[in-house]
């Protein structure tokens, strides 16, 4: 811990405390609302819970709030780049840090692929319903593991790969979104959600909400994948699926060192943004599932679900469907950019610790960005987006992030025991009750995602173990006794 804090004091002196509670709430809302709401809501309704997907949002929000309080304590105590990876390194040692760093690939890299696939869906909707052009052929905007209802097999999702490649190249150059443009995108996203709730409320068909919690059964989609639908397990499964809609709230915790009064503002920023988004999400899900029957989201409305539902069930509001499509494409682009940035920064920290090859921390001589890491992730993330179905990568992102949240909760408990006197700008209340509850709620959502996702997480971690014991353990700076890390070179894209 002493080495980490020394590094913090050496490399992060320039941060000014300028953010207020309101600024943090706005930051959180901007980071949270994205592909999860506009894509995963319909998927959870179709495959898991029907109208009771709203209850899934509540469960997911509770898990995020509990983990968010733990994030707030750690981010204000260990203000160093690397997110949950650094927190775990400081509290549970190198091996657990490797596990969480490897697991964060599921949050950032696979998450970026998920949003890229969603971007592809809405691009097709833009071409057909807004520009009135021909749609991209099914086989060139879907993975090889998917086939249409008409029996057409996918080959490669070219638009998803294209947007990943374009934004990766922008990151290499160091192009940074202006605060003004980013603010416009945030305002637009929130405005669209509010407009859909207001105008869609009058078109709700109560028959679509009956029964609100469907009887427990098994639903097999046209790809042959079985899902637990309805009942308590359906709600937990939906919570795990729509959990993707909350990913990004931890961006609030990373701003602890730039907050005027973190002890007061951090819980307001985290819980305030979560509360506002949860209310919007529940109302949005209530309207969306009321507009169309579950069968619609399993067939015609499976892709670009929000725009399709507006076009089909809200006569006279086609303008809203077109606005949704254009704004969502812009919003998705900013989310992909942030996820790709986060992935490169986590591996940058791991590379400096010797756990992954030096190539991930090589900085461009002109642009001062980890350009080789961005090129590698262009290929890896692009391959996920091009060749893996959206449902699979979305659930992998959720289960990976839930596992990371559980370790963050454990880290708070351990650090309270091992270093009780460490200065903490914000303290998680009711320790160990709150962290333990966070572990249980996140664990319940992992349980609800089903055994196929448990196997994927287990397989992913197994690959990580092979890499750690085959490479990382032998090249670790900690193992070599070189625990004082070099200073960060200037990275214009690094918000910390």
**Structure tokens belonging to residue 374:** 């961005």
Q: Output the pLDDT for position 13.
A: 43
Per-residue pLDDT of 20-78, as tens digits, reads: 777 778 777 877 777 678 878 888 888 888 899 999 999 989 988 898 888 878 776 66
> Which among 330, 282, 239 is positioned nearest to 35, based on CA atoms?
330
* Digit-coded pLDDT (tens) for 401-416: 888 888 889 988 988 8
pLDDT at 252: 67
| Predicted pLDDT at 339 | 78
Mean pLDDT of 363-384: 85
**Which pLDDT score is estimated for 454?**
86
Tens digits of residue pLDDT in 449-471: 878 888 888 888 899 899 999 88
Query: Does 102 or 198 have the greater pLDDT score?
Result: 198
The answer on pLDDT for 16 being more than 60 is: no
The residues spanned by each domain of the chain are 19-158+178-343+389-475
- List helix spans (H) across 222-317: 231-242, 262-291, 294-298, 305-313
In contact, 328 and 341? CB cutoff 8 Å:
no
Write down the pLDDT at residue 109: 83
**With 90 as the cut, is the pLDDT of residue 284 above it?**
yes
Does 132 have pLDDT greater than 60? yes
Q: How does residue 200 score in pLDDT terms, banded at 50, 70 and 90?
A: very high
Per residue in 215-229, pLDDT (tens digit) is 888 877 666 667 778
Percent of the chain with pLDDT over 70: 84
pLDDT greater at residue 183 or residue 293: 293
Q: Quote the pLDDT of residue 76.
A: 67
Specify the pLDDT at position 157.
92
pLDDT at residue 4 tops 70: no
Average pLDDT over all residues of the chain: 80
Beta bridge partners of 229: 217
Mean per-residue pLDDT for 348-377?
82
With cut-offs at 50, 70 and 90, classify the pLDDT of residue 489: very low
Instruction: Please determine, for residue 1, whether its predicted confidence score (pLDDT) is greater than 70.
Output: no
The three-class DSSP label of residue 157 is: strand
**CB crowding 120-144: b at 16 or more within 10 Å, else e:** bbbbbbbbebbeeeeebebbebbbe
Question: In 10 A of CB 275, how many CB atoms?
Answer: 15
Write down the residue that tokens 């970026």 correspond to.
Answer: 112
Q: Looking at residue 52, what is its pLDDT?
A: 92
Q: How many CB atoms lie within 10 A of CB 315?
A: 9
CATH number of 19-158+178-343+389-475: 1.20.1740.10
pLDDT at 477 over 80: no
Q: Which of 7-16, 113-122, 200-209 is least confident?
A: 7-16
More confident residue, 56 or 178: 56
288 and 41 Cβ atoms separated by less than 8 Å: yes
Least confident of 170-174, 295-299, 310-314: 170-174
pLDDT, tens digit (0-9, with 9 covering 90-100), for 66-99? 988 888 787 766 655 455 677 777 777 888 888 8
Helices 21-32/179-200 angle, 10° precision? 70
Give the per-residue pLDDT at 482.
60
For helices 179-200 and 262-291, angle between their N-to-C axes, nearest 10 degrees: 40
pLDDT at 18: 64
Bond into 144 cis (ω within 30)? no
In the predicted structure, residue 487 carries a pLDDT above the cut 60: no
Contacts of 368 (CB under 8 A, 6+ apart): 174, 489, 490, 491, 492
Q: What is the pLDDT of residues 419-445, one digit of tens each?
A: 888 777 778 888 899 999 999 999 988
Looking at residue 224, its pLDDT comes to 65
Global pTM?
A: 0.78
CA distance 398 to 247: 8
Residue 241 and residue 137: Cα distance in Å, rounded? 28
Question: CA-to-CA distance for 275 and 268, rounded, in angstroms?
Answer: 10
206 vs 180, which has greater pLDDT?
206
Confidence of residue 399 (pLDDT cuts 50, 70, 90): confident
Reply yes or no on whether the pLDDT at 345 is more than 70: yes
Per-residue pLDDT band at 115 (split at 50, 70, 90): confident
């Amino acid at each position: 811990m002493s080495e980490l804090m020394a590094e913090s004091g050496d490399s992060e002196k320039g941060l000014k405390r300028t953010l207020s509670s309101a600024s943090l709430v706005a930051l959180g809302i901007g980071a949270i609302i994205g592909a999860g709401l506009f894509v995963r809501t319909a998927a959870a309704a179709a495959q898991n819970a029907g109208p009771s997907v709203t209850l899934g949002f509540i469960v997911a929000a509770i898990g995020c709030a509990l983990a968010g309080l733990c994030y707030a304590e750690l981010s204000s105590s260990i203000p160093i780049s690397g997110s949950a990876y650094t927190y775990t390194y400081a509290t549970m040692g190198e091996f657990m840090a490797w596990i969480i760093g490897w697991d964060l690939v599921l949050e950032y890299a696979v998450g970026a692929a998920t949003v890229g696939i969603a971007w592809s869906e809405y691009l097709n909707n833009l071409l057909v319903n807004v520009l009135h052009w021909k749609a991209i052929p099914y086989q060139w905007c879907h993975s090889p593991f998917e086939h249409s209802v008409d029996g057409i097999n996918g080959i490669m999702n070219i638009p998803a790969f294209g947007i990943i490649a374009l934004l990766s190249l922008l990151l290499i150059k160091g192009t940074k979104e202006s605060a003004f443009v980013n603010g416009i995108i945030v305002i637009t996203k929130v405005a669209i959600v509010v407009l859909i709730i207001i105008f869609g409320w009058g078109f709700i068909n109560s028959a679509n909400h009956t029964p609100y919690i469907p009887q427990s059964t098994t639903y097999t989609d046209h790809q042959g994948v079985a899902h637990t639908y309805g009942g308590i397990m359906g709600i937990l499964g939906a919570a795990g699926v729509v959990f993707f809609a909350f990913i990004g709230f931890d961006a609030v915790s990373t701003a602890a060192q730039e907050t005027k009064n973190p002890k007061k503002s951090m819980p307001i920023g985290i819980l305030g943004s979560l509360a506002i988004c949860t209310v919007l999400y529940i109302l949005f899900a209530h309207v969306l599932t009321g507009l169309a029957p579950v069968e619609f989201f399993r067939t015609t409305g499976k892709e670009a679900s929000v725009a399709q539902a507006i076009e089909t069930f809200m006569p006279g509001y086609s303008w809203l469907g077109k606005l949704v499509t254009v704004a969502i494409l812009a919003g998705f682009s900013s989310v992909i950019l942030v996820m790709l940035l986060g992935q490169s920064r986590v591996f940058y920290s791991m590379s400096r610790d010797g756990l992954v090859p030096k190539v991930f921390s090589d900085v461009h001589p002109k642009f001062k960005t980890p350009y080789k890491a961005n090129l590698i992730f262009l290929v890896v993330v692009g391959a996920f987006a091009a060749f893996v179905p959206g449902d699979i990568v979305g659930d992998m992102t959720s289960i990976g992030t839930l596992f990371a949240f559980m370790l963050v909760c454990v880290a708070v408990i351990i650090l309270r025991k091992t270093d009780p006197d460490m200065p903490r700008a914000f303290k998680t209340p009711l320790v160990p009750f709150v962290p333990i509850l966070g572990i249980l709620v996140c664990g319940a959502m992992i349980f609800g995602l089903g055994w196929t996702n448990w196997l994927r997480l287990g397989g992913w971690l197994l690959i990580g173990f092979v890499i750690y014991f085959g490479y990382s353990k032998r090249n670790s700076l900690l193992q070599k006794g070189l625990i004082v890390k070099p200073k960060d070179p200037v990275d214009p894209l690094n918000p910390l």
